[in-house]
A and B are shown apart, each in its own frame.
Chain A
Amino acid sequence: MEELINVVDWSRAQFALTAIYHWLFVPLTLGLGIIVAVMETIYLKTKSEKWLATTKFWMTIFGVNFAIGVATGIILEFEFGTNWSNYSWFVGDIFGAPLAVEGILAFFMESTFIAVMFFGWKKVSPKFHLAATWLTAIGASLSALWILVANAWMQYPTGCEFNPETMRNEMTSFAAVALSPMAMSKFFHTVLSAWALGGVFVCGVCGWMMLKKRNMDHCWRSLKVGAWVGAIGIVLTMITGDTSAVTVAKYQPMKLAAMEGLYKGDQGQSIVAFGILNPSKQAFDDQDPYLFDISIPKGLSFLATHDFDAFVPGIEDIINGVSYDSEGNAVNTIPYAERMERGKQLQELLSQYSAPNNSGNMLMRDSIQSILNTDFKHFGYGYLERPEEAIPNVPLTFYTFHFMVTVGGYLLLFLLLALLFVYKPNILDKAKWSKWWYRLAIITVPLTYLCSASGWIVAEVGRQPWTIQDLMPNKVAISDLSAGYVQVTFWIFAVIFTALLIADISIICKQISKKSQTDLDTVND
């Protein structure tokens, strides 16, 4: 059993490592892709060589970042098979489809048109080139769409049913999978936050160049596009964040409770604006969950349901099966202990059905089918040994969520101000704030990356221990490997990706420094 836990932990660690590295590069590809496409569109409309120089400046950075995004991405797709073998069979019928569609529709689009984008300036017409740049950006977003559809399905499995003959889930509605509320909110929230990151990145780089007083006009041109894309991105990220919260409250209430460190819920539940968790707090002890907190009355009820007086269940309520409707009437939800029992019974029945002497027994199949219809949502709980196993890491989920929200609020202010200063630069000059503003723009870049990574940590840590919500815990999803094997590959990945990250940052810094010293402002129009 100890070996099993080790394999699960190392497999999770490896997936987390590769996913976090991958996500360092993807949002910039998504955001900068749109920014570069807008810049080239302006170039084509104005025929201004200055806009061409600006477009090419950002395109170079896009290219460096894109390559490492591709390198880190291939691992993730194959890791589903290499490290999560049971998972691949149990849900491959549903999960594989978005991945295949991603390959056919998005990857080929990206890989074909990015080559035209970089090498086609003198080989294709300007309009064709612009179309290639847009198609590269769209291809990247389409790729995000399909992988996020797949991820959303793991958080909210829908459009499928369990087949006892094949011992797996099978798709019954592609539309339900692709257009689930979880998929839609996840896609828009993720992609739009990448626009915000792209905008902040442009502001940060321009801030550095403006501090050095290099290519000021180029910087203002860049900021015009970057600030707009970033501001639109962050405003829409906020709106879709609200939708995401409502979706999580509905389909993953345990995750919401962990995000807030909420153990006992209430009607008109307050939300913690700032808090320090009590590190020794465990579910069902009587300790206060917070050492210190500043809360906004009724905030969580409104965030989760858009109703100030609604009941929001805490971790203990969910485990005990306690909830209330909008009128305060107790709602019968099923306690985890009972879900575990029903899950185990279902698994026992399926075991009997899969025994050779019962194969094809129609009577048994019919009876199992009727139980599956009512109890399959408890299937995964049958693997749990105690209800507390279903509680995610509360401190990590809580702090990353609050960090994300706080920095997200700051980014809204920052990008709206950036937009203001683009059109009213005198405000900065008059107040002699320019240098401070530029420095702030530089500092905001790493902060935005941390914010973006925090969002993913909330999404993924908050749904633990489930690989597939309610159906498959991590410990059942793994491959038949020893912990030592996964440890070796974990460290190889850690070394390779860290070495590549160092090279990537170094190249990007050098490119920015070198290109900023070439004259981008006195190009003849």
Chain B
Amino acid sequence: MTTYNLLQNYWWLIISVLGALLVFLLMVQGGQSMLIHYTKPDKRALLINSMGRKWELTYTTLVTFGGAFFASFPLFYSTSFGGAYWLWMLILFSFVIQAISYEYRSKPGNIYGSRFYDTLLLINGIVGPVLLGVAVATMFFGAEFTVVKSNILNMDGQSIISQWGPKHGLEAIANWKCLLFGVMVFFLARTLASLYFINNINDDEVNASQRHLLLINAGVFVPLFIAVVVVILTSPGMGQDCDANGNMKWMWIPYKYLHNYLTMWWALVIMLIGVGMVLYGIGKTLMKGDYKCGIWPAGIGTVLVVMTLFWVVGYNDTAYLPSLLDVKSSLTLRNSSSSEFTLKVMSVVSILVPFVLAYIAYCWYKMDHRKLTSDELDNTDHKY
């Protein structure tokens, strides 16, 4: 493997870490979607303030995920964002309305009233995870687009490199496989949110109601997850294989993702460990009334599983955004990445990632070692 290929793989690993952390942190959105279950203002306030101290981390991870994709695989940025316009715009709108809602909802003079901002949080809580799930699912199931790099030399007004189908992302939302993936992510976010609230909020009523919600959400999530895994493993993927003449060619390969898990057995092991940790976190929390740390095994497990999904969709000569219109247009780690020099430069910067993760962990340890209570909210200067 050349140094360039190694760097491309390394940056796909970084993308997978950021994507996995983003899915884990979507617990904030999952929590927002639960606001409808709480009518008492003090309980709503506990939930919102608990999430309100984490929302920026989710937001930042989303932005960094986008930035890292732009920097390392700009052709994906150019093709998916410019192509699936409506899908990404809906995601962005939902995050715009989230960003101000925490800060504004309880402030005097907010004009529209706190219910309005809570509704915005609810919209983001549902739309964000579902549509992000749909967007990621297009990586497995493909999209209708073509890429012709030399188009940029056309001077007749047809100079766009990446051309997408006329529905510009709406077709992905209407695709049952993509939607199934999105709904699964939504229920995962709600499951993680319950585990997070149980850990972060010291309130008996919230604790009891969240355990009840955990049972329902995990009860929906687990079958959905199994269904998604079955669909992915039985779906064809685009990869390199020998044609009838013995030449290596890009083509649709049945059970490609299953093959990838079997070829990259370590990814399968990590996925199974991850699944085990998620189930352990959920199961122990449901079974032991005083156990509050389920978010840690379930969160780490989520990160592990999502990382392996990125690996099987990108590694092992697989097109991570297959084109349903033109095989040659499909995006792979090799044809869509930045240059070797740029990847090298950014790899130097990425050495700082563990340091960044360390200070985030330290700060949150300091901030969260005392759990949130109504008393704390009554005695704080800054609350949502």
**A residues touching B (Cβ–Cβ < 8 Å)?**
1, 4, 56, 59-60, 63-64, 66-68, 70-75, 77-78, 80-90, 92-97, 99-105, 107-116, 118-124, 128, 132, 163, 166-168, 170-172, 174, 344, 347, 350-351, 354, 382-383, 476, 478-481, 485, 489, 492, 496, 499-500, 502-504, 506-507, 509-511, 514
Q: A87: which B residues are within 8 A, CB to CB?
A: 78
Q: B6: which A residues are within 8 A, CB to CB?
A: none
Q: B287: which A residues are within 8 A, CB to CB?
A: none
Interface residue? B127 (CB, 8 A): no
**Which B residues from 102 to 147 make CB contacts under 8 A with A?**
102-104, 107-112
Q: B98: which A residues are within 8 A, CB to CB?
A: 71
Report yes or no: B160 in contact with A114, Cβ–Cβ below 8 A: no
Report yes or no: B71 in contact with A96, Cβ–Cβ below 8 A: yes
Report yes or no: B341 in contact with A170, Cβ–Cβ below 8 A: yes
Starting from the known contacts A70-B59, A94-B342, A170-B339, 19 additional A-B residue pairs (CB-CB under 8 Å) come to: A64-B104, A70-B99, A74-B95, A85-B81, A88-B78, A89-B78, A93-B338, A96-B67, A96-B72, A99-B70, A100-B349, A103-B64, A104-B349, A110-B60, A383-B155, A479-B162, A481-B82, A504-B104, A514-B108
**Which B residues from 160 to 188 make CB contacts under 8 A with A?**
160-164, 168
Q: A84: which B residues are within 8 A, CB to CB?
A: 82
B323 to chain A, nearest CB (A): 14
Given contacts A112-B360, A492-B93, A496-B97, whether A479 and B82 have CB atoms under 8 Å apart is yes
Interface size on B, residues (CB 8 A): 79
Q: CA–CA, A112 to B53, complex, Å?
A: 9
Report yes or no: A93 in contact with B64, Cβ–Cβ below 8 A: no
Report yes or no: B160 in contact with A85, Cβ–Cβ below 8 A: yes
Q: B249: which A residues are within 8 A, CB to CB?
A: none
Q: CA–CA, A111 to B149, complex, Å?
A: 38
B60 to chain A, nearest CB (A): 4
Q: B86: which A residues are within 8 A, CB to CB?
A: 485
Report yes or no: B56 in contact with A114, Cβ–Cβ below 8 A: yes
Main SS class of interface, A: helix
Q: CA–CA, A168 to B335, complex, Å?
A: 12
- The residue on A at minimum CB distance from B57 is A111
Report yes or no: A77 in contact with B168, Cβ–Cβ below 8 A: no
Report yes or no: A100 in contact with B346, Cβ–Cβ below 8 A: yes
- The residue on B at minimum CB distance from A89 is B78
- For the complex of A and B, list the 3 residue pairs with the smallest distance between their C-beta atoms, beginning with the closest: A92-B74, A81-B81, A85-B82
Of B40-48, B252-260, B311-319, B350-358, the one touching chain A = B350-358
Interface residue? B216 (CB, 8 A): no
Interface 0/1 of B61-75, CB less than 8 Å to A? 011101110111011
Q: B89: which A residues are within 8 A, CB to CB?
A: 82, 489
Given contacts A88-B70, A496-B97, whether A121 and B381 have CB atoms under 8 Å apart is yes
| 7 A-B contacts (beta carbon < 8 Å) | A64-B103, A70-B59, A92-B75, A132-B363, A496-B97, A499-B112, A511-B107
Interface residue? B159 (CB, 8 A): yes
Q: Give how many A-B residue pairs fall within 8 Å (CB-CB).
A: 284
Report yes or no: B107 in contact with A507, Cβ–Cβ below 8 A: yes
Report yes or no: A382 in contact with B83, Cβ–Cβ below 8 A: no
Q: A77: which B residues are within 8 A, CB to CB?
A: 63, 66-67, 70
Q: A118: which B residues are within 8 A, CB to CB?
A: 382
Report yes or no: B64 in contact with A108, Cβ–Cβ below 8 A: yes
- The residue on A at minimum CB distance from B165 is A480
B366: contacting residue among A101, A128, A344, A347, CB under 8 A: A128
Given contacts A80-B70, A90-B152, whether A172 and B341 have CB atoms under 8 Å apart is yes
Q: CA–CA, A100 to B342, complex, Å?
A: 11
Q: B96: which A residues are within 8 A, CB to CB?
A: 71-72, 74-75, 496
Report yes or no: A99 in contact with B67, Cβ–Cβ below 8 A: yes
Report yes or no: B74 in contact with A500, Cβ–Cβ below 8 A: no
A359 to chain B, nearest CB (A): 10
Q: A74: which B residues are within 8 A, CB to CB?
A: 59, 62-63, 92, 95-96, 99
Report yes or no: A78 in contact with B359, Cβ–Cβ below 8 A: no
Q: CA–CA, A67 to B52, complex, Å?
A: 12
Report yes or no: A96 in contact with B338, Cβ–Cβ below 8 A: yes
Report yes or no: B349 in contact with A119, Cβ–Cβ below 8 A: no
A354: contacting residue among B63, B67, B149, B350, CB under 8 A: B149
Interface residue? B262 (CB, 8 A): no
Q: CA–CA, A476 to B82, complex, Å?
A: 14
Report yes or no: B82 in contact with A103, Cβ–Cβ below 8 A: no
Interface residue? B332 (CB, 8 A): no
Interface residue? B12 (CB, 8 A): no
Interface residue? B225 (CB, 8 A): no
